[in-house]
Chain A
């Protein structure tokens, strides 16, 4: 079973717009990570947020975590065509070792 589920499944925006993706999960977690996957490539780590953090920034990325709602969001500001990719959230359950990935959001940024 998948721990994290992203929403929406697909998102198409214009260059310069902001893109928001959401992730929901089911159990208590130690941390939540976001990864990007370009077509036909491996995943690349973007950002990690720990369960005791509420918000984290990295460049044009902003991640929030609401443990009471068991959800996280990834905001990409001023999107670029190069941001076109699939984005996955991944969670590590409390007391567990395994990272569980969601099904991903496919983002398409039109130039």
Chain B
């Protein structure tokens, strides 16, 4: 099992460009999450999907959209990137809600110039 995979690993964007971060899990988990991690800070929840077909805003959703394409895949889209979105993005999944252990992907390091 690969666990949680994310693509790409690194990305540089210019202000105003758009891109989609891809995440997939092969553990048949119901819930999936997108976090961002900034230097010296913990993870902040951007969006989550409690189950296939549902998505909800987290703590910092502005500037992002998500799609739960199927049970395996949960993508994060930046429609018009801004320098404030420079961060490391982590996708995670859990069997049922956040009470269960969350499994994290390796992260995507995004720089917006």
Contacts and interface: CB of A to CB of B under 8 A. Distances in A.
A4 B33 CA distance: 19
B106 interface: yes
Contacts of B59: 98, 100
A21 to B, nearest CB: 13
A88 B102 CA distance: 13
Interface residues of B, number: 26
Nearest to A47: B101
A97 B48 contact: yes
B103 A88 contact: no
Interface size class of A (residues with CB under 8 A): 20 to 34
B90 interface: yes
Interface in B56-108: 56, 58-59, 90, 92, 97-99, 101-107
B41 interface: yes
